[in-house]
Amino acid sequence: LMLCETCDSVFCTLCTGGSHVPEEEEGNNNQASTADHTVIPLSIARKRMSEIVIYKANECSSKLNSADSIVNEEIDRLEHLADAAFNSVNRLFEELGDVMEKKRIEVVADVRRRKDEKRVVLEQQLKQIEAEKSDVQANVTTIKHQVDVKNVTTRISELNCKLEAISQLSEPRENSYIEFHRIGDKSFEASVNRLLKDIGRIKTSKTFPSLCRATMET
């Protein structure tokens, strides 16, 4: 069997007398029309085609391996850059957290300061009450051992005056009211979201990697 590479057809030399006629030339008696065709044995054609197939397959495998390596490198770069972006976001929100924590400490300190101011006034009043109680107890002890009616009358008069003063001590000189009141009693979620809306943006590109980089000889 022979193969005509020109018209890509297989023919038998015994059946055709050593030549062949293409289908489009059937009925044409001009046997010289196939004289310039390239004809080789089919076995050699098969071997040559097998070699070409193997070569092309190896070339495809090589390019696929190269493509696999290039895509994996791009994935590695993506992971590296994404980690850097994660770190940038975390640093930013850590800074915001520091600002919020600083403000929280300031507000808590203000609440504590105002509480202490109220407590000092009330504790001073308590000390005065204790002093008055001690004074009253001292008067009672003195009266028990007092035999002079005039002195007892004087003590009673002093205690009557003290009763008027003590009635004033029954009224706390400072109140217990302290409360943190949110301005406008509104939710700050929307306000914070508006403030954070322009805090930054994520940038990406759809350009192919080969068009994103330039290589320069140094």
pLDDT in tens, the chain (218 residues): 677 766 766 666 656 555 666 555 555 544 446 656 777 777 777 878 888 898 999 999 999 999 999 999 999 999 999 999 999 999 999 998 998 899 999 999 999 999 999 999 999 999 988 988 888 888 777 776 665 667 777 777 777 777 777 878 888 889 999 998 877 666 677 777 777 777 777 788 888 787 777 777 87
Write the CA distances from 96 to 88, 89, 99, 147, 199, integer angstroms: 12, 11, 5, 78, 10
CA angle in degrees (0–180, nearest 5) for 87-73-218:
95
CA-to-CA distance for 7 and 206, rounded, in angstroms?
A: 47
CA-to-CA distance for 106 and 112, rounded, in angstroms?
A: 10
Note the pTM of the prediction, 2 decimals. Answer: 0.56
28-36 long-range Cβ contacts below 8 angstroms, 24+ apart: 34/4, 36/6
* CB-based burial label for 3 (10 Å; 0-12, 13-18, 19+): buried
Query: What radius of gyration, in Å, describes the C-alpha atoms of the chain?
Result: 53
* Pick from 1, 25, 27, 30: nearest CA to 14: 1
Amino acid at 175: N
Whether 39 contacts 9, CB under 8 Å? no
Reading phi first (left if > 0) and then psi (alpha if -120 to 50, else beta), residue 201 is in: beta
